[in-house]
Structure 1
Amino acid sequence: MMAIKEATKRSMLDNVMEQFNKTADSINLNSNIRKILSITNNEIILHFPVKMDNGGVQVFTGYRVQHNNALGPYKGGLRYHPTVNVDDAKALAMWMTWKTSLAGLPYGGAKGGIQIDPRDYSIGELERITRRFTYALGENIGPEHDIPAPDVNTNEQTMAWMADTFMSTKSSSERSRNQHVVTGKPVGSGGLEGRNRSTGYGVYLTIKLLYKSRGESLEGKKFIVQGFGNVGYWTSHFLTQEGAILVAVQDAHASIINKKGIAVEELFEHSKPRKGSIQGFTGAEEIDPELFFGVECDILIPAALGNQITADNAYLVKADVIAEGANGPIDTEGEKILLQNGIAIIPDILCNSGGVIGSYFEWLQNRNGELWQLDEVMQKIDKKLSEVFYKVEGLVKEGKIDWRTAAYILAITRIETAYIQRGIFP
């Protein structure tokens, strides 16, 4: 039985559309702009062949959905997962549009990926799959048009292959000007110091700022994390440095608990040779995955897939704060229950936006031919995300509304303003 659910009755697209329509109604969004934002600009579906290690050929399906570019080039991750489909990509692309707008970045939103489980393929096969996908995308991506980044089951190596493949299609004089076609690259290949930790740092920072607004610190706060990949690990790393205590973790293979505290770095070292799996960790005991969300804690961090907290399990949650490390981990029906129970939810478009903010700085670094040190990068991300947090917090208090509603109002209003000022091409 999988600990992390891969299918639910309600789709992520249903959720994002309900959230959008609720916000559009509340701000009386211009009806013409509402029509534009309710659909995607482009939906690209690709079928491409790749030769496997055994000499046979397998045909893969890849997606890239570009939702809106009113504020700038499309921006968003690529994930490798069996559940990738066009509807999920549409939902995730829309969330990226709101996320980049809320963060005040000169980007629009996109998302995509390949419908595979990367654990089923060798490194060589994954390289060929990635390069062939990049080649198939062709001019649908580009440093001033659509800039992919890592997401679920993709990483800096994936981005290095993509960048190299894309640049190889350009003339020798143009190659250096296309390095920023993707972000999240290795530091030695034009990547940004600290980009790998930027999403997790943002999750940690928004939690810290929320408690600070309540006059509290993170010292002694108990937290649980669903998903112990890049985001889950770095969030846990920074929280425990502030004195918070990790008491339970769940991934697709196991759910573990230790009420006295789980050693974050030890768990990370345990998971590395096991392709990220936490199963078999001796510093905690396994529990029934159905009980995970009901673990006693102050903070719950869903940092895995979408639609994990629903009407079926939201009533179990004991946390005071939920920080959405993943995109869309709570469906709209589950959220209603959580809000009725007085639980504060830091929404994904705010909570995990440290990643796209870091991507923006990497893009700028490549574009301008600069190199920034780790401490400088983290200060930039901290400053930018803190500014966004305080804007959302101000609207929460002023309007006496929940955090997601406030974040959506700010994000969509910014896009509406851009359309009104520029007009719509006839």
Structure 2
Amino acid sequence: MITKSKKELKQGMLENVMSQFNHAADIVDLNPNIRKILSITNNELIIHFPVKMDNGDVEVFTGYRVQHNNALGPYKGGLRYHPTVDIDAAKALAMWMTWKTSLAGLPYGGAKGGIQLDPSKYSTTELERITRRFTYALGDNIGPEHDIPAPDVNTNSQTMAWIVDTYMSTKSPAERSKNQHVVTGKPLGSGGSEGRDRATGYGVFLNIKFWAEKKKIDLKNKRFIVQGFGNVGFWTSYFLELEGAKLVGVQDAFGTIANQEGIAVAQLNDYMQGNKGSIVDFPNSVALPTEDFFGLDCDICIPAALGNQITAENADKIKAFLIAEGANGPTDVEAEEILLNNGVGIIPDILCNSGGVIGSYFEWLQNRNGELWQLDEVLAKLDKKMKEIFDRVYVKAEERNGDMRTSAYVIAIERIEKAYVQRGIFP
């Protein structure tokens, strides 16, 4: 079970992203005026809205949308449904999105948001009404050329379909066709893109593959563990298994399982579908205490759940030689220092999981241009783009004789700084 409390999660995430930003800003000697701008968000929305439940009762929910920066283009970032969602968590995640889109060279800024709730406590019809009411309340604070949400923790393509339908229904008939790309991560029948479902996980896999190639490491028979077996965790595991690597440990919100002989990825995924999304009691595996997960004997550790999971309390237990951050902010600052001192490689989140926003960009482009790309074309474009970004970060880290996270931040911040220097500050 993932154990960080809401208070620990929000404080740690916001403190971490600011610490990472300030460290890189010092290195690049960031213009102090631009530093002031990037240290705060552009807009922070808190929305309270009522929704009628299936039993006729009304519940009032709180939704958030934080727009951090749009110097490079429209705001871009996911919506998550989770009890830990609040304004500080949204601010931290929005800032990470700004660095991620900048690093990827996309014409986007950064945003994030969601609703503070546990979706497992609500029916599908209730979640639909909650989503539609939240979308209506957001109004023109989102838009295809202004702020483009996407799926995140506990949201999916169905959630995006409800959002796009609700948003388009508020527009005139002549305008509706121009607003399909208000969100990305939609189902294929509603304007979604081939490959968007696996883009984040495929990107995590590619980063691991590129890193291993640089280090001349063969992934065959390498053992990996995954925290979070949702969309990102599953697809990362799927592609690693194709390379001959072995999944030996998994942790989700319900429990922890392990098998040093290997856990079949497809079988575990199928089992979860019939077990209410839980990995608990999966055959041919042993259950472990929550606190033992990061100490499992493995080569690669993939945190793909929530933020602040690897801390100073458990970093020394990690036996892996590589951490590939599938989640946003899974490693806190103190833990990273310990890991780097122990010689553990870290592929940072803003690089490692950027396949999702790149895949979203491809979907957005297709919607804007009225195009439909095939799966092999999408994955080929993603492969090429991820390789370019990875090489840029890796080379920068080698030049600086430093870590990959700081190098990624340096590249991202310098791109935004250049935009501000060229354009100036209004008025």
Fold-level match, TM-score > 0.5?
yes
Name the residue aligned to 1:24. Answer: 25
Q: Which residue of 2 aligns with 1:149?
A: 150
Instruction: Report the AA paired with residue 141 of structure 1.
Output: I
Matched position secondary structure for 2:174: coil
Partner of 1:323: 324
What is the CA-CA distance between 1:164 and the residue it aligns to?
A: 0.3
Matched ranges for 1:355-370 at <5 A: 355-370=356-371
AA aligned to 1:394 is V
Q: Please, which moves more after superposition, 56-65 or 265-274?
A: 265-274
Separation (CA, whole Å) in 2 of partners of 1:263 and 1:385: 27
- In structure 1, the partner of 2:192 is 191
- 1:214 is displaced (CA, Å) by 1.0
Q: Distance in 2 between matches of 1:147 and 1:132?
A: 17
Q: Does the CA-based 8 Å contact 2:2-2:309 persist in structure 1?
A: no
- Please give the alpha-carbon distance, in whole angstroms, between the structure 2 residues aligned to 1:366 and 1:339: 42
TM-score (norm 1): 0.99
Amino acid at match of 2:25: A
Q: Which residue of 1 aligns with 2:382?
A: 381
Q: Which residue of 2 aligns with 1:416?
A: 417
Cross-structure match for 1:140: 141
Equivalent AA in structure 2 for residue 326 of structure 1:
A
Q: Deviations over 1:78-100 (max 9, x none)?
A: 00000100000000000000000
- Quick one: which amino acid aligns to residue 24 of structure 1? A
Is 1:200 aligned with 2:201?
yes
Instruction: Give SS of 1:173's match.
Output: helix
The Cα shift of 1:417 comes to 0.4
Matches within 5 A, 1:292-307: 292-307=293-308
- The aligned counterpart of 1:280 is 281
Q: Name the structure 2 match of 1:130.
A: 131
Contact map agreement 1:4 1:251 (CA 8 A) in 2: no
- Cα distance per residue 1:49-105 (max 9 Å; x no partner): 001000111000000000000000000000000010000000000000000000000
SS in 1 for 2:410: helix
What SS class does the counterpart of residue 306 from structure 2 fall into?
coil
**In the TM superposition, what are the counterparts of 1:99-114 in structure 2 within 5 Å?**
99-114=100-115
State the one-letter code of the partner of 1:379.
A
Task: Report matched runs for 1:90-105 at 5 Å.
Answer: 90-105=91-106
CA RMSD of aligned residues (A): 0.8
Q: 2:183, 2:192 → 1: CA distance?
A: 9
Which stretches in structure 1 are left out of the alignment for 5+ residues? none
Q: Deviations over 1:111-146 (max 9, x none)?
A: 000000000000000000000000000000000000
Match of 2:355 in 1: 354
Question: Pairwise mapping of residues 57-76 of structure 1 onto structure 2 (< 5 A)?
Answer: 57-76=58-77
Once residues 376 and 42 of structure 1 are traced to their aligned partners in structure 2, the CA distance between those partners, rounded to angstroms, is: 36
* Separation of aligned partners in 2, 1:360 and 1:389: 18
Number of equivalenced pairs: 425
Match of 1:118 in 2: 119
More displaced stretch, 270-279 vs 414-423: 270-279
Q: Provide Cα deviations, 1:344-365, integer angstroms capped at 9, x if missing partner.
A: 1000000000000000000000
CA contact (8 A) 1:263 1:283 kept: no
Which residue is 2:267 aligned to? 266
| Residue type at the aligned position of 2:201 | G
Task: Output aligned runs, 1:334-353, within 5 Å.
Answer: 334-353=335-354
Asked if structure 2 preserves the Cα contact closer than 8 Å seen for 1:225 and 1:232, the reply is yes
Q: Which runs of 5+ in 2 are unaligned?
A: none
Matched, 1:243 2:244: yes
Secondary structure at the aligned position of 1:274 is classed as: coil
Partner of 1:80: 81
CA distance in 2, matches of 1:283, 1:39: 49
Q: What residue identity is the alignment partner of 1:23?
A: A
- Secondary structure of 1:106's counterpart equals coil
Shift of 1:6: 3.6
Structure 1 residue 4: deviation in Å? 4.1
Aligned to 2:274, what secondary structure does the other structure show?
helix
What CA distance in whole angstroms lies between the structure 2 residues aligned with 1:205 and 1:169?
Answer: 40
| Corresponding residue SS for 1:174 | helix
Change (3 A) 1:251 1:6: farther
**How high is the sequence identity, in percent, across the aligned residues?**
71
Counterpart in the other structure of 1:218: 219
Alpha-carbon distance in structure 2 between the residues aligned to 1:372 and 1:355: 16
TM-score (ref. length: structure 2): 0.99
